[in-house]
A and B are shown apart, each in its own frame.
Chain A
Amino acid sequence: MIVRRYCLILGSLLLAACDPQQAQYRTAMQQLFQRDYRAGAATLTSLAENGHPPSQFRLGFLYRTGLGVPRSARLANYWFEKAAQQGDVGGQYWLAESYRRGQGLPVSPELAYAGFYRLAERGYAPAQYQVALALAEGRGVARNNGHAITWLQRAVAGGHPEAARRLAQAYRNGELGLPQDPLQAAEWERKIQPARF
């Protein structure tokens, strides 16, 4: 039984190692690491066109920053969307961010909120923070202080210091429907500091 399990693990590891797309992706990343951006972009393009989500996200990032390819927010978002459709975290986050900022796309708080919400539900703390801000400000969604506080608390539980800072501020100033409470504010501020043992 144990031997069979180890064989399965070993087999899957070998399969992963033999995955040609994975090997090609690593080559592209090596090229980018060595600052050979043109070669890296070329390798990523062929992978992205074959539907490899991490390559699609990385290629979108190259278009966004203009490394190895001409800078193009439109193409960046195109590849972010392709990656996001396959569940890539980076693609989903940056596509939502592009909708929020209006980079290469018309500003759409609704689509930004929807994108962040999908990631927030999967437990990604930076997206939970963005969802909380949108709910607190009524950006792309009806204002709802209660839900905003819940998402802020979830983001704090995910180690997000900005969320803790926002909660502390809300308690200090009596915002988001919370009573003024300096003790609670201090408690949330304490959570900004990383725990030390």
Chain B
Amino acid sequence: MYQPFDPLLLRLLAGGALFLPLSLAAWWWLVRVPLATWLGYGVGAISQWLWPEAILGVGLDGDKGLIISLLPPLLDSAQMFMALPLPFNRATVILPLFWGLTLATPGRGLLRRLLLGTLVLLPVVYVMVLLYAQFQLALYRTHLPLLTETPPANYALALPDSPTWYYLWGLGRQLAVLVLPVVAPLIVWLLLHGSFLRKIILSGLLRRGLQAGDATLPPSPSAAPERKPS
């Protein structure tokens, strides 16, 4: 019987349809806020080494971070600090994407694969948030709209970044917001499920080979039209 898809592939697709929404739901209700809290601490802790003159700390507003900037705003009022947005969800969403893919993949050692992948992805999440924080600082200093981001209403009392650096930070932001959320969970999943992928690819090739072989075989005698005796 002709099957358009490999049964393994079908199982993966069906698993994805089931587990991706479940993982996203688990992330949204259980993981998102605690992870944001930890990320806030993490970014706040490293910011005193990375940006000692620019960031005082990172505050939290629900699941969003707020960079408390040390760069004073150009204002007539007594306002001394600027809060810059630092969304964590764009970074942490890579975890449920990976969990969904992994849960959908048949094979042994599910817990080990989940744990290992999560451990590999957590530093990626951290780097994504740091790249975004760096971009927010550059946006505030340089005060030029870039990509979909508009600078805060007030200028910082700081010199703007050079155009080259500004575009580089913009590139970092694109990497953090657009590229890594899709590519990172996929790559980690691919690396952790090599044998499964080989199975799918090999079986696919085999099936193709068999089908091609069937097509080149001469028609069986039973398939030949019967000649009526004249």
Chain A interface residues toward B at CB < 8 A:
13-14, 16-17, 19, 22, 26, 29-30, 32-33, 54, 57-58, 61, 65, 67, 89-90, 93, 122-126, 158-160, 194-197
Contact = CB atoms under 8 A, between A and B. Distances in A.
B160 A17 contact: no
A158 B160 contact: yes
A159 B49 CA distance: 30
Given A93-B157, A126-B74, A61 B52 contact: no
A124 B151 CA distance: 15
A196 B148 contact: yes
A65 B79 CA distance: 10
21 contacts: A16-B52, A17-B52, A26-B52, A26-B70, A29-B70, A30-B57, A32-B80, A54-B70, A57-B157, A58-B72, A67-B78, A89-B157, A89-B159, A93-B74, A125-B160, A126-B74, A159-B142, A159-B143, A196-B145, A196-B148, A197-B147
Contacts of B147: 197
Most chain A beta carbons < 10 A, residue from B50, B52, B147: B52
Nearest to B53: A54
Nearest to B70: A29
A108 B55 CA distance: 35
Interface string B47-87: 01110110011000000000010101010001011000000
A126 B151 CA distance: 14
B171 interface: no
A123 B148 CA distance: 24
A115 to B, nearest CB: 13
A16 B50 CA distance: 9
Contacts of B68: 33
B230 to A, nearest CB: 79
Contact of A158 (B48, B72, B144): B144
**Chain A residues touching B, majority SS:** helix
Interface in B142-170: 142-145, 147-148, 150-151, 155, 157-160
Nearest to A87: B159
A57 B72 CA distance: 10
A38 B74 CA distance: 23
A123 B155 CA distance: 13
Interface string B24-53: 000000000000000000000000111011
Contacts of B53: 22, 54
A54 B54 CA distance: 11
B159 to A, nearest CB: 6
Nearest to B151: A159
Interface in B76-131: 78, 80-81
B112 to A, nearest CB: 32
A64 B74 CA distance: 14
B52 A123 contact: no
Contacts of B145: 159, 194-196
B157 A123 contact: no
A117 to B, nearest CB: 15
A197 B148 contact: yes
B48 A89 contact: no
Contacts of B78: 65, 67
B76 to A, nearest CB: 9
Contacts of A89: 157-159
Contact of B56 (A30, A57, A122): A30
B119 to A, nearest CB: 23
A158 B52 CA distance: 25
A35 to B, nearest CB: 10
Given A22-B52, A54-B53, A125-B143, 9 more contacts: A13-B49, A19-B52, A33-B80, A90-B157, A123-B159, A124-B160, A159-B142, A159-B145, A197-B148
